[in-house]
Amino acid sequence: MGDAVHLSHEERKHLIQAARVALDEIDLHDIPIVAGTGASSTRESIKLCIDASKAGADYVMVIPPGYYAGTMLSNIGSVKRFFMDIAQASPVPVIIYNFPAVSGGIDMDSDLIVDIIRSSPNICGVKLTCGNVGKLTRIMGQVSTADFQKRYPRSCTSPFRAINGFIDFLLPSISVGSSGAISGLPNIAPKSCVRLWDLSQSSTTAKEAAELQHMIALADGVALKIGIAGMKLLLHRKYGYSEKPRLPLLPMEETAADVLNSPFLTELLILEGKL
């Protein structure tokens, strides 16, 4: 839960290997593993992609490096080159990860993302943790057309996918081409979030889907405020996992934990217990 950036190279490999073994042991051989491999340099990101592939990852997700964000933003071609170089060198397909809050404010617009996709056949998707439904719509409005796919064929066999970084706008995004969400909230309410996904696939359950989306969006708003430390504490209370994030992040102090009693979170967790 948000600790990838604080893991060593060896820990990353062990984590991927352990995930693959755990899935295979329960006959989930077809469930793919997506490994985060973004780093501060192109060379390190490529090495992480290679290591992840060897460890059993099926896809890699790469965030732009934010350490020299100002310099990169002054020459946006450097962001494009970063992804093109990694996509060309990666042994597995690459997912672009747009998350401006943790990448020094680098927020790739739809034009840049589509330009990178055109230039890099090994890019198979984009994760948008910028909460921008319009951006997702513009991307899918171009890359999902038959003409685009003919002119810019993918080297990966799976179709191009756009993925939400927040689950609070899953329902409206489905109608414009989203393939789902990779979000923090499903850590504590997985059944409710899967229920929302199932409801979003049918027009006959629109009212129930909208009601559940409202509930999940309100709870996700709390989850965004409590951050890594708050989510860790919730997971500790619910499942017994360690409440401690990797240093330099500190655990949430109990005196600040009253926010975890939010009625929005409480309502969702009550529903979760019933599913």
Last residue of one domain, picked from the residues 129, 155, 183:
183
Are 70 and 130 in the same domain? yes
Are 167 and 192 in the same domain? no
Last residue of one domain, picked from the residues 183, 210, 226:
183
Are 73 and 169 in the same domain? yes
Are 151 and 227 in the same domain? no
Are 143 and 263 in the same domain? no
DSSP labels for 78-138? HHHHHHHHHHHH-SS-EEEEE-GGGTTT----HHHHHHHHHH-TTEEEEEETT--HHHHHH
Are 17 and 150 in the same domain? yes
pLDDT value of position 1: 57
Query: pTM of the entire structure?
Result: 0.92
CATH of the domain at 53: 3.20.20.70
Q: Where are the beta strands (DSSP E) in the chain?
A: 34-36, 59-62, 94-98, 123-128, 161-164, 178-181
Domain of 58? 1-183
pLDDT tens for the chain, 275 residues long, are 577 888 999 999 999 999 999 999 999 999 999 999 999 999 999 999 999 999 999 999 999 999 999 999 999 999 999 999 999 999 999 999 999 999 999 999 999 999 999 999 999 999 999 989 999 999 999 999 999 999 999 888 888 999 999 999 999 999 999 999 999 999 999 999 999 999 998 888 889 999 999 999 999 999 999 989 999 999 998 899 999 999 999 999 878 888 888 999 999 999 999 99
Question: Whole-angstrom Cα distance, residue 235 to residue 152?
Answer: 43
Write out the catalytic residue numbers.
127
Last residue of one domain, picked from the residues 183, 218, 237:
183
pLDDT value of position 179: 95
pLDDT value of position 5: 85
Name the domain count of the chain. Answer: 2
Contact 223, 231 (CB under 8 A): yes
User: Does residue 217 sit in helix, strand or coil?
Assistant: helix
pLDDT value of position 256: 82
- Residue 185: CB atoms within 10 A of its CB come to 25
